[in-house]
A and B are shown apart, each in its own frame.
Chain A
Amino acid sequence: MVDTATAVRRAPGRVTPGPARPRRRRRPAFGPYLLILPTLAVIGLLLFWPMIQIGVMSFQKVGNRQLAGEPAESVGTKNFDQIFSDPLFWQSLRHTVYFAAVAVTLTLLVGTLVGLLLNRLGSRMSTFVAGGVMIAWATPPITAAIIFSWLFGSTGGLVNWFLDLLPNWLVGGGWTDFNWFDRPLATYTVLTICVVWQSFPFVAVSVLAGLKSVPGELYEAAKVDGSGPWRTFWRITFPLLRPIFMVLLVLSIIWDFKVFTQLFVMSGLANRDAFNLSLYMYSEAFGQLNPKLGLGSAAATVLTLILLCVTAVYVRVMVRQGETA
Protein backbone atom coordinates (compact mmCIF):
# COMPACT_ATOMS: atom_id res chain seq x y z
CA MET A 1 0.00 0.00 0.00
CA VAL A 2 2.67 2.43 0.95
CA ASP A 3 4.39 1.79 -2.31
CA THR A 4 1.60 3.55 -4.13
CA ALA A 5 1.74 6.32 -1.63
CA THR A 6 5.37 6.60 -2.49
CA ALA A 7 4.49 6.76 -6.12
CA VAL A 8 2.07 9.48 -5.15
CA ARG A 9 4.73 11.64 -3.66
CA ARG A 10 6.98 11.37 -6.60
CA ALA A 11 4.27 11.65 -9.13
CA PRO A 12 4.15 15.23 -10.23
CA GLY A 13 6.76 14.91 -12.88
CA ARG A 14 9.66 15.69 -10.66
CA VAL A 15 13.02 14.77 -11.94
CA THR A 16 13.82 11.47 -10.32
CA PRO A 17 17.13 11.76 -8.58
CA GLY A 18 19.56 8.98 -9.35
CA PRO A 19 20.28 6.41 -6.68
CA ALA A 20 21.72 8.19 -3.67
CA ARG A 21 25.46 8.14 -3.53
CA PRO A 22 26.79 5.64 -1.02
CA ARG A 23 27.43 7.41 2.24
CA ARG A 24 30.50 6.96 4.30
CA ARG A 25 30.44 3.74 6.20
CA ARG A 26 30.89 4.46 9.84
CA ARG A 27 29.84 1.23 11.39
CA PRO A 28 31.08 -2.32 11.06
CA ALA A 29 30.04 -3.74 7.72
CA PHE A 30 28.23 -6.77 9.09
CA GLY A 31 25.73 -4.61 11.05
CA PRO A 32 23.02 -4.37 8.40
CA TYR A 33 23.31 -8.06 7.56
CA LEU A 34 22.72 -8.90 11.20
CA LEU A 35 19.61 -6.72 11.18
CA ILE A 36 18.07 -8.32 8.12
CA LEU A 37 19.07 -11.84 9.09
CA PRO A 38 15.86 -12.71 11.00
CA THR A 39 13.75 -11.34 8.16
CA LEU A 40 15.68 -13.36 5.61
CA ALA A 41 15.20 -16.48 7.69
CA VAL A 42 11.44 -15.95 8.05
CA ILE A 43 10.85 -15.01 4.43
CA GLY A 44 13.09 -17.77 3.16
CA LEU A 45 11.39 -20.40 5.25
CA LEU A 46 7.79 -19.26 4.79
CA LEU A 47 7.74 -17.75 1.32
CA PHE A 48 10.72 -18.78 -0.78
CA TRP A 49 11.08 -22.38 0.23
CA PRO A 50 7.35 -23.10 -0.24
CA MET A 51 7.49 -21.44 -3.65
CA ILE A 52 10.22 -23.86 -4.66
CA GLN A 53 8.21 -26.70 -3.16
CA ILE A 54 5.23 -25.85 -5.36
CA GLY A 55 7.46 -26.23 -8.38
CA VAL A 56 8.90 -29.53 -7.18
CA MET A 57 5.59 -30.97 -6.01
CA SER A 58 3.88 -30.22 -9.29
CA PHE A 59 5.97 -33.05 -10.75
CA GLN A 60 5.17 -35.42 -7.90
CA LYS A 61 2.35 -37.44 -6.51
CA VAL A 62 1.63 -36.22 -2.98
CA GLY A 63 -1.39 -37.88 -1.42
CA ASN A 64 -2.39 -39.41 1.87
CA ARG A 65 0.44 -41.91 1.92
CA GLN A 66 3.00 -39.22 1.30
CA LEU A 67 1.41 -37.11 4.03
CA ALA A 68 1.85 -40.06 6.35
CA GLY A 69 5.58 -39.93 5.75
CA GLU A 70 6.36 -41.94 2.64
CA PRO A 71 8.66 -40.26 0.15
CA ALA A 72 6.92 -38.51 -2.73
CA GLU A 73 7.07 -40.31 -6.05
CA SER A 74 7.96 -38.50 -9.21
CA VAL A 75 5.34 -38.63 -11.95
CA GLY A 76 6.95 -36.50 -14.64
CA THR A 77 4.55 -34.08 -16.28
CA LYS A 78 1.48 -36.17 -15.48
CA ASN A 79 -0.03 -33.53 -13.19
CA PHE A 80 0.23 -30.87 -15.86
CA ASP A 81 -1.11 -33.22 -18.54
CA GLN A 82 -4.07 -33.90 -16.32
CA ILE A 83 -5.01 -30.29 -15.54
CA PHE A 84 -4.37 -29.08 -19.08
CA SER A 85 -6.73 -31.71 -20.44
CA ASP A 86 -9.35 -30.87 -17.83
CA PRO A 87 -12.09 -28.64 -19.30
CA LEU A 88 -12.85 -27.40 -15.79
CA PHE A 89 -9.33 -25.97 -15.54
CA TRP A 90 -9.78 -23.93 -18.70
CA GLN A 91 -13.19 -22.78 -17.60
CA SER A 92 -11.79 -21.71 -14.23
CA LEU A 93 -8.98 -19.85 -15.98
CA ARG A 94 -11.49 -18.09 -18.23
CA HIS A 95 -13.59 -17.09 -15.21
CA THR A 96 -10.47 -15.74 -13.51
CA VAL A 97 -9.42 -13.64 -16.49
CA TYR A 98 -12.89 -12.27 -17.29
CA PHE A 99 -13.57 -11.49 -13.67
CA ALA A 100 -10.23 -9.73 -13.24
CA ALA A 101 -10.79 -7.68 -16.41
CA VAL A 102 -14.21 -6.46 -15.30
CA ALA A 103 -13.40 -6.00 -11.61
CA VAL A 104 -10.11 -4.18 -12.23
CA THR A 105 -11.72 -1.80 -14.74
CA LEU A 106 -14.61 -1.00 -12.42
CA THR A 107 -12.36 -0.64 -9.38
CA LEU A 108 -10.06 1.84 -11.11
CA LEU A 109 -12.95 3.75 -12.65
CA VAL A 110 -14.99 4.07 -9.46
CA GLY A 111 -11.91 4.65 -7.31
CA THR A 112 -10.62 7.44 -9.56
CA LEU A 113 -14.00 9.15 -9.70
CA VAL A 114 -14.35 9.01 -5.93
CA GLY A 115 -10.78 10.28 -5.52
CA LEU A 116 -11.54 13.24 -7.79
CA LEU A 117 -14.76 13.86 -5.89
CA LEU A 118 -13.02 13.79 -2.49
CA ASN A 119 -10.58 16.36 -3.81
CA ARG A 120 -13.39 18.73 -4.77
CA LEU A 121 -15.36 18.43 -1.54
CA GLY A 122 -14.86 20.86 1.31
CA SER A 123 -12.43 19.64 3.93
CA ARG A 124 -15.03 18.60 6.53
CA MET A 125 -17.26 16.89 3.98
CA SER A 126 -14.19 15.22 2.48
CA THR A 127 -13.14 13.79 5.85
CA PHE A 128 -16.67 12.57 6.46
CA VAL A 129 -17.01 10.81 3.11
CA ALA A 130 -13.48 9.40 3.34
CA GLY A 131 -14.44 7.96 6.72
CA GLY A 132 -17.37 6.13 5.17
CA VAL A 133 -15.25 4.89 2.29
CA MET A 134 -12.73 3.54 4.80
CA ILE A 135 -15.45 1.41 6.36
CA ALA A 136 -15.87 -0.48 3.09
CA TRP A 137 -12.11 -0.94 2.97
CA ALA A 138 -11.84 -2.13 6.58
CA THR A 139 -14.55 -4.78 6.36
CA PRO A 140 -12.98 -8.27 6.48
CA PRO A 141 -13.40 -10.17 3.17
CA ILE A 142 -15.29 -12.97 4.85
CA THR A 143 -17.83 -10.58 6.36
CA ALA A 144 -18.19 -8.72 3.07
CA ALA A 145 -18.94 -11.99 1.30
CA ILE A 146 -21.53 -12.98 3.89
CA ILE A 147 -23.20 -9.54 3.86
CA PHE A 148 -23.51 -9.64 0.07
CA SER A 149 -24.86 -13.19 0.22
CA TRP A 150 -27.55 -11.79 2.51
CA LEU A 151 -28.23 -8.69 0.40
CA PHE A 152 -28.65 -10.92 -2.65
CA GLY A 153 -30.35 -13.75 -0.73
CA SER A 154 -33.50 -15.31 -2.11
CA THR A 155 -35.56 -15.13 1.09
CA GLY A 156 -35.78 -11.66 2.55
CA GLY A 157 -32.88 -10.39 0.42
CA LEU A 158 -32.97 -6.67 -0.16
CA VAL A 159 -31.83 -6.70 -3.78
CA ASN A 160 -34.52 -9.10 -4.99
CA TRP A 161 -37.15 -7.08 -3.18
CA PHE A 162 -35.89 -3.91 -4.86
CA LEU A 163 -35.69 -5.48 -8.33
CA ASP A 164 -39.26 -6.66 -7.91
CA LEU A 165 -40.35 -3.10 -7.16
CA LEU A 166 -38.85 -1.82 -10.39
CA PRO A 167 -41.12 -1.91 -13.45
CA ASN A 168 -41.08 -5.22 -15.31
CA TRP A 169 -40.17 -3.68 -18.68
CA LEU A 170 -36.94 -2.50 -17.14
CA VAL A 171 -35.63 -5.51 -15.26
CA GLY A 172 -38.10 -8.29 -16.00
CA GLY A 173 -40.25 -9.96 -13.38
CA GLY A 174 -40.11 -12.88 -10.98
CA TRP A 175 -37.17 -11.65 -8.90
CA THR A 176 -38.62 -12.66 -5.55
CA ASP A 177 -37.17 -16.15 -5.57
CA PHE A 178 -34.26 -15.53 -7.89
CA ASN A 179 -31.24 -17.48 -6.72
CA TRP A 180 -28.04 -15.56 -7.45
CA PHE A 181 -25.75 -18.37 -6.42
CA ASP A 182 -26.75 -21.32 -8.61
CA ARG A 183 -25.36 -20.05 -11.94
CA PRO A 184 -21.90 -18.65 -12.61
CA LEU A 185 -22.85 -15.41 -14.33
CA ALA A 186 -25.14 -14.29 -11.49
CA THR A 187 -22.63 -15.41 -8.85
CA TYR A 188 -19.84 -13.49 -10.54
CA THR A 189 -22.06 -10.41 -10.77
CA VAL A 190 -22.46 -10.42 -7.00
CA LEU A 191 -18.78 -11.24 -6.55
CA THR A 192 -17.79 -8.31 -8.75
CA ILE A 193 -19.96 -5.87 -6.83
CA CYS A 194 -18.59 -7.18 -3.55
CA VAL A 195 -14.94 -7.01 -4.60
CA VAL A 196 -15.25 -3.59 -6.23
CA TRP A 197 -17.00 -2.28 -3.13
CA GLN A 198 -14.06 -3.42 -1.03
CA SER A 199 -11.24 -2.31 -3.31
CA PHE A 200 -12.27 1.08 -4.70
CA PRO A 201 -11.45 2.89 -1.42
CA PHE A 202 -7.75 2.10 -1.74
CA VAL A 203 -7.70 3.51 -5.27
CA ALA A 204 -9.70 6.56 -4.17
CA VAL A 205 -7.39 7.35 -1.27
CA SER A 206 -4.26 6.88 -3.39
CA VAL A 207 -5.62 9.09 -6.17
CA LEU A 208 -6.62 11.71 -3.60
CA ALA A 209 -3.12 11.69 -2.12
CA GLY A 210 -1.74 12.10 -5.63
CA LEU A 211 -4.07 14.99 -6.46
CA LYS A 212 -3.00 16.81 -3.32
CA SER A 213 0.53 16.83 -4.65
CA VAL A 214 -0.35 18.41 -8.00
CA PRO A 215 0.43 22.13 -7.90
CA GLY A 216 -2.80 24.13 -8.00
CA GLU A 217 -1.39 26.64 -10.50
CA LEU A 218 -1.57 24.02 -13.22
CA TYR A 219 -5.33 23.74 -12.80
CA GLU A 220 -5.75 27.49 -12.62
CA ALA A 221 -3.82 27.85 -15.83
CA ALA A 222 -5.96 25.18 -17.47
CA LYS A 223 -9.10 26.97 -16.32
CA VAL A 224 -7.88 30.28 -17.68
CA ASP A 225 -7.20 28.57 -20.98
CA GLY A 226 -10.80 27.34 -21.00
CA SER A 227 -10.12 23.64 -20.55
CA GLY A 228 -13.12 21.57 -19.39
CA PRO A 229 -12.93 18.90 -16.68
CA TRP A 230 -12.59 16.00 -19.16
CA ARG A 231 -9.72 17.64 -21.00
CA THR A 232 -8.09 18.79 -17.77
CA PHE A 233 -8.15 15.24 -16.45
CA TRP A 234 -6.55 13.68 -19.53
CA ARG A 235 -4.09 16.49 -20.20
CA ILE A 236 -2.95 17.31 -16.66
CA THR A 237 -4.11 14.92 -13.96
CA PHE A 238 -3.60 11.63 -15.74
CA PRO A 239 -0.11 12.29 -17.12
CA LEU A 240 1.08 13.58 -13.75
CA LEU A 241 -0.41 10.69 -11.83
CA ARG A 242 0.55 8.07 -14.40
CA PRO A 243 2.99 6.28 -12.05
CA ILE A 244 0.28 5.91 -9.41
CA PHE A 245 -2.21 4.60 -11.91
CA MET A 246 0.36 2.11 -13.14
CA VAL A 247 0.95 0.77 -9.64
CA LEU A 248 -2.77 0.72 -8.85
CA LEU A 249 -3.47 -1.16 -12.07
CA VAL A 250 -0.87 -3.83 -11.39
CA LEU A 251 -1.86 -4.25 -7.74
CA SER A 252 -5.54 -4.53 -8.65
CA ILE A 253 -4.80 -7.17 -11.28
CA ILE A 254 -2.81 -9.18 -8.76
CA TRP A 255 -5.45 -8.91 -6.04
CA ASP A 256 -8.40 -9.70 -8.27
CA PHE A 257 -6.64 -12.58 -9.96
CA LYS A 258 -6.36 -14.58 -6.78
CA VAL A 259 -9.73 -13.85 -5.15
CA PHE A 260 -10.56 -16.81 -2.98
CA THR A 261 -12.40 -16.11 0.27
CA GLN A 262 -15.37 -14.24 -1.20
CA LEU A 263 -16.07 -16.81 -3.90
CA PHE A 264 -15.49 -19.65 -1.45
CA VAL A 265 -18.15 -18.22 0.86
CA MET A 266 -20.66 -17.28 -1.83
CA SER A 267 -20.47 -20.39 -3.94
CA GLY A 268 -18.23 -22.94 -2.22
CA LEU A 269 -16.32 -26.03 -3.24
CA ALA A 270 -19.42 -28.00 -4.24
CA ASN A 271 -20.31 -25.54 -6.99
CA ARG A 272 -17.64 -26.54 -9.50
CA ASP A 273 -19.22 -24.63 -12.38
CA ALA A 274 -18.41 -21.32 -10.74
CA PHE A 275 -14.75 -22.09 -9.91
CA ASN A 276 -12.00 -19.62 -10.56
CA LEU A 277 -8.34 -20.65 -10.65
CA SER A 278 -7.84 -20.30 -6.87
CA LEU A 279 -10.85 -22.45 -6.07
CA TYR A 280 -9.94 -25.00 -8.72
CA MET A 281 -6.48 -25.28 -7.24
CA TYR A 282 -7.77 -25.57 -3.70
CA SER A 283 -10.35 -28.14 -4.68
CA GLU A 284 -7.78 -30.27 -6.51
CA ALA A 285 -5.46 -30.12 -3.51
CA PHE A 286 -7.82 -30.42 -0.55
CA GLY A 287 -11.32 -30.90 -1.95
CA GLN A 288 -11.57 -34.66 -1.72
CA LEU A 289 -10.95 -37.05 1.11
CA ASN A 290 -7.74 -37.94 -0.71
CA PRO A 291 -5.72 -34.77 -0.85
CA LYS A 292 -3.88 -34.48 -4.17
CA LEU A 293 -1.27 -31.92 -3.32
CA GLY A 294 0.76 -32.65 -6.45
CA LEU A 295 -2.14 -31.90 -8.74
CA GLY A 296 -3.00 -28.78 -6.70
CA SER A 297 0.63 -27.68 -6.92
CA ALA A 298 0.55 -27.92 -10.70
CA ALA A 299 -2.43 -25.54 -10.75
CA ALA A 300 -0.69 -23.36 -8.15
CA THR A 301 2.38 -23.20 -10.38
CA VAL A 302 0.26 -21.86 -13.23
CA LEU A 303 -1.33 -19.22 -10.97
CA THR A 304 2.02 -18.22 -9.47
CA LEU A 305 3.70 -17.93 -12.85
CA ILE A 306 0.95 -15.67 -14.18
CA LEU A 307 1.15 -13.47 -11.10
CA LEU A 308 4.95 -13.36 -11.22
CA CYS A 309 4.74 -11.98 -14.76
CA VAL A 310 2.44 -9.21 -13.52
CA THR A 311 4.73 -8.69 -10.53
CA ALA A 312 7.68 -8.27 -12.86
CA VAL A 313 5.92 -5.27 -14.42
CA TYR A 314 5.24 -3.91 -10.93
CA VAL A 315 8.87 -4.28 -9.85
CA ARG A 316 10.03 -2.59 -13.05
CA VAL A 317 7.76 0.39 -12.38
CA MET A 318 8.92 0.64 -8.79
CA VAL A 319 12.60 0.40 -9.70
CA ARG A 320 12.17 3.04 -12.37
CA GLN A 321 10.55 5.35 -9.87
CA GLY A 322 13.59 4.88 -7.67
CA GLU A 323 11.70 3.15 -4.88
CA THR A 324 14.45 0.64 -4.34
CA ALA A 325 17.21 3.21 -4.25
Chain B
Amino acid sequence: MNKSARRFAVNAAGVLVFVVSVFPVFWMAATAFKPNDEIFSATPHPVPAHPTLQHFDLVINGGVANVGFWTYFANSLLVAIATVVVSGLLALLAATAVARFRFRFRTVFLIMLLVVQMVPAEALVIPLFLDLKRADLLNSLPGLTVVYIGFALPFSIWLLRGFVAAVPRELEEASWIDGAGPVRTFYKVMLPLVAPGLVATSIFSFITAWNEFIFAYTFLGDQDKYTLPIMLQYFFGRTGNDWGPIMAASTLLTLPVIAFFLLVQRRMVAGLTAGAVKG
Protein backbone atom coordinates (compact mmCIF):
# COMPACT_ATOMS: atom_id res chain seq x y z
CA MET B 1 0.00 0.00 0.00
CA ASN B 2 1.42 3.38 -0.83
CA LYS B 3 1.48 6.23 1.60
CA SER B 4 -1.60 8.15 0.49
CA ALA B 5 -3.75 5.03 0.33
CA ARG B 6 -2.73 4.17 3.86
CA ARG B 7 -3.53 7.67 5.00
CA PHE B 8 -6.91 7.41 3.37
CA ALA B 9 -7.60 4.11 5.15
CA VAL B 10 -6.64 5.57 8.52
CA ASN B 11 -8.86 8.60 8.00
CA ALA B 12 -11.74 6.43 6.82
CA ALA B 13 -11.41 4.33 9.98
CA GLY B 14 -11.46 7.57 11.96
CA VAL B 15 -14.68 8.65 10.31
CA LEU B 16 -16.19 5.22 10.96
CA VAL B 17 -15.32 5.42 14.66
CA PHE B 18 -16.82 8.89 14.81
CA VAL B 19 -20.05 7.79 13.16
CA VAL B 20 -20.47 4.73 15.38
CA SER B 21 -19.81 6.80 18.50
CA VAL B 22 -22.20 9.57 17.64
CA PHE B 23 -24.94 7.67 15.85
CA PRO B 24 -27.05 6.53 18.85
CA VAL B 25 -27.16 10.07 20.22
CA PHE B 26 -27.91 11.45 16.77
CA TRP B 27 -30.72 8.95 16.37
CA MET B 28 -32.17 9.98 19.71
CA ALA B 29 -32.25 13.65 18.73
CA ALA B 30 -33.51 12.89 15.21
CA THR B 31 -36.37 10.80 16.59
CA ALA B 32 -37.28 13.52 19.04
CA PHE B 33 -37.91 15.95 16.18
CA LYS B 34 -39.84 13.56 13.90
CA PRO B 35 -43.61 13.40 13.65
CA ASN B 36 -45.05 10.00 14.56
CA ASP B 37 -45.62 8.78 10.99
CA GLU B 38 -41.92 9.27 10.28
CA ILE B 39 -40.87 7.53 13.50
CA PHE B 40 -42.90 4.42 12.79
CA SER B 41 -42.67 4.33 8.99
CA ALA B 42 -41.59 1.06 7.38
CA THR B 43 -38.46 2.65 5.91
CA PRO B 44 -36.60 4.81 8.42
CA HIS B 45 -36.05 8.49 7.70
CA PRO B 46 -32.44 9.38 8.43
CA VAL B 47 -33.30 12.98 9.29
CA PRO B 48 -36.69 14.48 10.14
CA ALA B 49 -38.39 15.45 6.86
CA HIS B 50 -40.93 17.60 8.69
CA PRO B 51 -39.32 18.55 11.98
CA THR B 52 -41.75 19.11 14.80
CA LEU B 53 -41.54 20.26 18.40
CA GLN B 54 -44.71 18.42 19.41
CA HIS B 55 -42.85 15.80 21.47
CA PHE B 56 -40.87 18.41 23.37
CA ASP B 57 -44.05 20.34 23.89
CA LEU B 58 -45.72 17.24 25.33
CA VAL B 59 -42.83 16.53 27.69
CA ILE B 60 -42.33 20.12 28.86
CA ASN B 61 -45.87 21.44 28.95
CA GLY B 62 -47.92 18.27 29.22
CA GLY B 63 -46.18 17.37 32.44
CA VAL B 64 -45.08 13.86 33.34
CA ALA B 65 -47.01 12.26 36.18
CA ASN B 66 -48.92 15.51 36.65
CA VAL B 67 -45.76 17.33 37.61
CA GLY B 68 -44.26 19.98 35.33
CA PHE B 69 -41.00 19.13 33.62
CA TRP B 70 -39.19 22.07 35.16
CA THR B 71 -39.77 20.69 38.65
CA TYR B 72 -37.79 17.59 37.73
CA PHE B 73 -35.17 19.71 36.05
CA ALA B 74 -34.87 21.92 39.13
CA ASN B 75 -34.63 18.86 41.41
CA SER B 76 -31.78 17.44 39.34
CA LEU B 77 -30.00 20.76 39.14
CA LEU B 78 -30.31 21.43 42.85
CA VAL B 79 -28.99 18.03 43.86
CA ALA B 80 -26.12 18.22 41.36
CA ILE B 81 -25.03 21.73 42.37
CA ALA B 82 -25.16 20.96 46.08
CA THR B 83 -23.06 17.84 45.44
CA VAL B 84 -20.52 19.83 43.43
CA VAL B 85 -20.13 22.56 46.04
CA VAL B 86 -19.89 20.39 49.15
CA SER B 87 -17.77 17.60 47.72
CA GLY B 88 -15.51 20.13 45.99
CA LEU B 89 -14.88 21.91 49.26
CA LEU B 90 -14.21 18.76 51.26
CA ALA B 91 -12.04 17.35 48.47
CA LEU B 92 -9.93 20.51 48.38
CA LEU B 93 -9.22 20.25 52.11
CA ALA B 94 -8.32 16.58 51.94
CA ALA B 95 -6.30 16.97 48.74
CA THR B 96 -4.26 19.71 50.39
CA ALA B 97 -3.59 17.40 53.31
CA VAL B 98 -2.30 14.52 51.17
CA ALA B 99 -0.41 16.68 48.68
CA ARG B 100 1.23 19.05 51.14
CA PHE B 101 1.81 17.10 54.32
CA ARG B 102 3.46 13.89 55.30
CA PHE B 103 1.60 12.38 58.19
CA ARG B 104 1.05 9.00 59.74
CA PHE B 105 -1.73 7.02 58.09
CA ARG B 106 -1.33 9.08 54.91
CA THR B 107 -0.74 5.94 52.85
CA VAL B 108 -3.57 4.19 54.65
CA PHE B 109 -5.82 7.11 53.81
CA LEU B 110 -4.85 6.99 50.13
CA ILE B 111 -5.40 3.24 49.93
CA MET B 112 -8.75 3.68 51.61
CA LEU B 113 -9.72 6.21 48.92
CA LEU B 114 -8.87 3.65 46.24
CA VAL B 115 -10.86 0.93 47.93
CA VAL B 116 -14.01 2.94 48.59
CA GLN B 117 -14.11 4.06 44.95
CA MET B 118 -14.67 0.44 44.07
CA VAL B 119 -17.44 -0.27 46.56
CA PRO B 120 -20.55 -1.17 44.56
CA ALA B 121 -23.26 1.44 44.99
CA GLU B 122 -25.68 -1.28 43.94
CA ALA B 123 -24.91 -3.14 47.18
CA LEU B 124 -24.84 -0.12 49.48
CA VAL B 125 -28.30 0.95 48.41
CA ILE B 126 -29.77 -1.58 50.88
CA PRO B 127 -28.19 -0.36 54.14
CA LEU B 128 -28.37 3.29 53.04
CA PHE B 129 -32.09 2.90 52.47
CA LEU B 130 -32.41 1.74 56.06
CA ASP B 131 -30.14 4.49 57.41
CA LEU B 132 -31.96 7.26 55.56
CA LYS B 133 -35.28 5.90 56.76
CA ARG B 134 -34.06 5.99 60.34
CA ALA B 135 -32.76 9.52 59.87
CA ASP B 136 -36.07 10.50 58.31
CA LEU B 137 -34.25 11.51 55.13
CA LEU B 138 -35.89 9.03 52.81
CA ASN B 139 -37.84 10.65 50.01
CA SER B 140 -35.94 13.91 50.44
CA LEU B 141 -33.55 15.68 48.12
CA PRO B 142 -31.11 16.65 50.90
CA GLY B 143 -30.90 12.99 51.89
CA LEU B 144 -30.11 12.03 48.31
CA THR B 145 -27.50 14.80 48.06
CA VAL B 146 -25.69 13.56 51.16
CA VAL B 147 -25.33 10.13 49.57
CA TYR B 148 -24.06 11.63 46.30
CA ILE B 149 -21.45 13.64 48.18
CA GLY B 150 -20.14 10.45 49.74
CA PHE B 151 -19.86 8.77 46.36
CA ALA B 152 -18.30 11.74 44.53
CA LEU B 153 -15.74 12.51 47.23
CA PRO B 154 -13.08 9.77 46.91
CA PHE B 155 -12.44 10.30 43.22
CA SER B 156 -12.58 14.09 43.61
CA ILE B 157 -9.78 13.96 46.15
CA TRP B 158 -7.76 11.64 43.94
CA LEU B 159 -8.23 14.03 41.01
CA LEU B 160 -7.48 17.21 42.96
CA ARG B 161 -4.39 16.09 44.78
CA GLY B 162 -2.37 16.20 41.57
CA PHE B 163 -3.39 19.78 40.96
CA VAL B 164 -2.54 20.85 44.50
CA ALA B 165 0.80 19.08 44.31
CA ALA B 166 1.58 20.88 41.06
CA VAL B 167 1.50 24.30 42.75
CA PRO B 168 5.14 25.14 43.46
CA ARG B 169 5.89 25.22 47.14
CA GLU B 170 8.11 28.24 46.56
CA LEU B 171 5.08 30.36 45.73
CA GLU B 172 3.56 29.56 49.07
CA GLU B 173 6.79 30.25 50.87
CA ALA B 174 7.14 33.58 49.09
CA SER B 175 3.65 34.45 50.20
CA TRP B 176 4.52 33.69 53.83
CA ILE B 177 7.70 35.71 53.64
CA ASP B 178 5.65 38.60 52.37
CA GLY B 179 3.68 38.29 55.58
CA ALA B 180 0.49 36.63 54.40
CA GLY B 181 -1.21 34.24 56.80
CA PRO B 182 -2.41 30.77 55.85
CA VAL B 183 -5.92 31.93 54.93
CA ARG B 184 -4.66 34.74 52.72
CA THR B 185 -2.08 32.47 51.14
CA PHE B 186 -4.82 30.02 50.36
CA TYR B 187 -7.06 32.60 48.70
CA LYS B 188 -4.45 34.59 46.87
CA VAL B 189 -1.99 31.91 45.85
CA MET B 190 -3.42 28.42 46.03
CA LEU B 191 -6.98 28.93 44.88
CA PRO B 192 -6.25 30.64 41.54
CA LEU B 193 -3.69 27.98 40.67
CA VAL B 194 -5.88 25.05 41.67
CA ALA B 195 -8.92 26.48 39.85
CA PRO B 196 -8.56 24.29 36.72
CA GLY B 197 -8.46 21.25 38.97
CA LEU B 198 -11.58 22.41 40.73
CA VAL B 199 -13.29 22.78 37.37
CA ALA B 200 -12.41 19.22 36.39
CA THR B 201 -13.54 17.94 39.79
CA SER B 202 -16.80 19.88 39.60
CA ILE B 203 -17.62 18.44 36.19
CA PHE B 204 -17.00 14.98 37.49
CA SER B 205 -19.24 15.40 40.53
CA PHE B 206 -21.90 17.17 38.51
CA ILE B 207 -22.13 14.32 36.04
CA THR B 208 -22.08 11.74 38.84
CA ALA B 209 -25.07 13.37 40.49
CA TRP B 210 -26.92 14.32 37.29
CA ASN B 211 -26.77 10.80 35.84
CA GLU B 212 -27.31 8.76 39.00
CA PHE B 213 -30.16 6.32 38.89
CA ILE B 214 -30.31 3.57 41.50
CA PHE B 215 -30.25 5.68 44.67
CA ALA B 216 -32.73 8.20 43.35
CA TYR B 217 -35.00 5.42 42.14
CA THR B 218 -34.92 3.65 45.50
CA PHE B 219 -35.04 6.64 47.84
CA LEU B 220 -37.47 9.02 46.16
CA GLY B 221 -41.12 8.08 46.54
CA ASP B 222 -43.09 11.21 45.69
CA GLN B 223 -43.32 12.13 42.05
CA ASP B 224 -42.63 15.79 42.67
CA LYS B 225 -39.28 14.80 44.21
CA TYR B 226 -38.07 12.79 41.19
CA THR B 227 -34.85 13.74 39.48
CA LEU B 228 -34.67 13.66 35.68
CA PRO B 229 -33.39 10.08 35.28
CA ILE B 230 -36.24 8.77 37.45
CA MET B 231 -38.74 10.87 35.56
CA LEU B 232 -37.36 9.40 32.34
CA GLN B 233 -37.58 5.83 33.62
CA TYR B 234 -41.12 6.42 34.89
CA PHE B 235 -42.12 7.96 31.59
CA PHE B 236 -40.51 5.10 29.65
CA GLY B 237 -42.31 2.52 31.76
CA ARG B 238 -45.65 4.27 31.39
CA THR B 239 -45.66 5.15 27.71
CA GLY B 240 -43.92 2.01 26.44
CA ASN B 241 -43.36 2.41 22.73
CA ASP B 242 -44.28 6.07 22.29
CA TRP B 243 -40.76 6.82 21.18
CA GLY B 244 -41.22 10.46 20.14
CA PRO B 245 -41.82 11.89 23.62
CA ILE B 246 -39.41 9.39 25.20
CA MET B 247 -36.61 10.52 22.90
CA ALA B 248 -37.52 14.16 23.49
CA ALA B 249 -37.26 13.61 27.24
CA SER B 250 -33.97 11.71 26.79
CA THR B 251 -32.60 14.56 24.72
CA LEU B 252 -33.50 17.06 27.43
CA LEU B 253 -31.68 14.95 30.02
CA THR B 254 -28.63 14.29 27.86
CA LEU B 255 -27.90 17.58 26.11
CA PRO B 256 -26.72 19.49 29.20
CA VAL B 257 -24.27 16.71 30.05
CA ILE B 258 -22.90 16.42 26.52
CA ALA B 259 -22.66 20.19 26.06
CA PHE B 260 -20.84 20.46 29.36
CA PHE B 261 -18.55 17.61 28.45
CA LEU B 262 -17.64 18.94 25.02
CA LEU B 263 -17.22 22.47 26.28
CA VAL B 264 -14.51 21.42 28.69
CA GLN B 265 -13.35 18.32 26.84
CA ARG B 266 -9.82 19.50 26.24
CA ARG B 267 -9.41 20.77 29.77
CA MET B 268 -10.82 17.53 31.10
CA VAL B 269 -8.32 15.35 29.27
CA ALA B 270 -5.57 17.79 30.16
CA GLY B 271 -6.88 17.66 33.73
CA LEU B 272 -6.82 13.91 33.80
CA THR B 273 -3.20 13.84 32.69
CA ALA B 274 -2.16 16.86 34.73
CA GLY B 275 -3.64 15.13 37.75
CA ALA B 276 -0.93 12.60 37.21
CA VAL B 277 1.75 14.94 38.50
CA LYS B 278 2.41 13.28 41.76
CA GLY B 279 1.86 14.67 45.22
Chain A residues at the B interface, C-beta cutoff of 8 Å: 1-3, 5-6, 8-10, 20, 22-23, 25, 27, 29, 31-33, 35-36, 38-40, 42-43, 45-51, 53-54, 57, 62, 67, 114, 117-118, 120-122, 125-126, 128-144, 146-151, 153, 155-156, 158, 161, 197, 201, 205, 209, 254, 257-258, 260-261, 264-265, 278, 281-282, 285-286, 293, 296-297, 300-301, 303-304, 307-308, 310-311, 314-315, 318-319, 322-325
Contacts and interface: CB of A to CB of B under 8 A. Distances in A.
Interface stretch (B56-64, B67-75, B102-110, B188-196): B102-110
Contacts, number: 302
A141 B211 contact: yes
A76 to B, nearest CB: 19
A318 B243 CA distance: 45
B14 A117 contact: yes
Interface in B31-87: 31, 39-44
B28 interface: yes
A72 to B, nearest CB: 9
A151 B11 contact: no
A115 to B, nearest CB: 11
Interface residues of B, number: 101
Interface of B: 10-11, 13-15, 17-22, 24-25, 27-28, 31, 39-44, 90-91, 93-94, 96-98, 100-103, 106-107, 109-112, 114-116, 118-131, 133, 146-147, 149-151, 153-155, 157-159, 162, 204, 207, 210-211, 213-214, 218, 229, 232-233, 236, 241, 243, 246-247, 250, 253-254, 257-258, 260-262, 265, 269, 271-273, 275-278
Contacts of A144: 24
B254 A140 contact: yes
A40 B10 CA distance: 49
A265 B236 contact: yes
Contacts of A57: 126-127, 130
B246 A205 contact: no
Contact of B265 (A134, A209, A282, A286): A134
Contacts of B258: 135, 138-139
Contacts of B103: 29, 32-33
Given A254-B118, A303-B120, A265 B111 contact: no
Given A3-B158, A146-B236, A156-B41, A135 B11 contact: no
Given A50-B127, A324-B111, A142 B232 contact: yes
A205 B241 CA distance: 36
